[in-house]
């Protein structure tokens, strides 16, 4: 790996690792999302902890930190393989941030971010699928898991590249792994619904 490519991958990881959910919740509500709700630093728990504005800003920030490095890699003319590596590094940064001892979010918003500039059709279909599943099930977590699992399938069906498919498989596996506790609560019938989330907001 040449120094410029190493620097690009490292920068992608470090940007992905910025815990916007924690920073925004602390700044705007003086609360720590790790001490409330699910204890996660993603947009859903940021909303539960700090309210709708905090949740919306966290969602936007987590998407943008996925978009920016991948869009820059594409603009720089990197190969499909290196774009896939940059996307994976950004996504892994969000899940395992060095700033928080590798305890990060669940990756759904950043998943959308890294796919959006690279595979916009798939990103649009995935977002629509997530929205429909969330409305039908009333569970954000279930919609997120199923949308992530659909990612490699959508890439394969749209004749995406092998690097894109491998990144899609990695993302699907890691999102599912990060939602292990949600899966257990879904099976137990104790997972909060979207209506319960709205009622629990400060």
pLDDT tens readout for residues 132-171: 999 999 999 999 999 999 999 999 999 889 999 999 999 9
pLDDT for position 44: 85
State both tokens at 54. 């905090």
State both tokens at 60. 């936007």
d(CA 200, CA 131): 21
- In a 13 Å sphere around the CA of 88, the CA atoms on its Cβ side amount to 17
Q: What is the mean pLDDT of residues 76-102?
A: 96
Q: How confident is the model at residue 58 (pLDDT cuts 50, 70, 90)?
A: very high
Please calculate the CA angle 32-33-37 and round it to the nearest 5 degrees.
Answer: 130
pLDDT for position 123: 96
d(CA 70, CA 46): 25
Q: How confident is the model at residue 74 (pLDDT cuts 50, 70, 90)?
A: very high
Which of 71, 64, 60, 66 is CA-nearest to residue 117? 71
DSSP state of 97: -
Its pTM stands at 0.93
Residue 70, number of CB atoms within 10 A of its CB:
25
């Amino acid at each position: 790996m040449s120094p410029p490519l190493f620097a690009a991958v490292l920068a992608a990881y470090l940007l992905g690792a910025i815990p916007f959910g924690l920073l925004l919740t602390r700044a705007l509500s003086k609360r720590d999302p790790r001490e409330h709700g699910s204890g996660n630093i993603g947009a859903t728990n940021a909303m539960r902890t700090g309210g709708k504005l905090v949740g919306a800003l966290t969602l936007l920030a987590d998407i943008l930190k996925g978009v920016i490095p991948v869009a820059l890699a594409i603009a720089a003319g990197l190969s499909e393989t290196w774009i896939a590596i940059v996307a994976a590094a950004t996504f892994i940064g969000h899940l395992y941030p060095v700033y928080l001892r590798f305890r990060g979010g669940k990756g759904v918003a950043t998943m959308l971010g890294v796919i959006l500039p690279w595979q916009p059709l798939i990103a649009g279909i995935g977002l629509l699928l997530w929205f429909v599943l969330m409305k039908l099930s009333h569970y954000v977590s279930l919609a997120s898991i199923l949308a992530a699992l659909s990612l490699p399938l959508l890439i394969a069906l749209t004749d995406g590249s092998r690097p894109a498919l491998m990144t899609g498989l990695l993302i699907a596996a890691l999102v599912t792994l990060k939602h292990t506790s949600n899966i257990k609560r879904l099976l137990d019938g104790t997972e909060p619904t979207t209506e319960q989330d709205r009622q629990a907001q400060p």
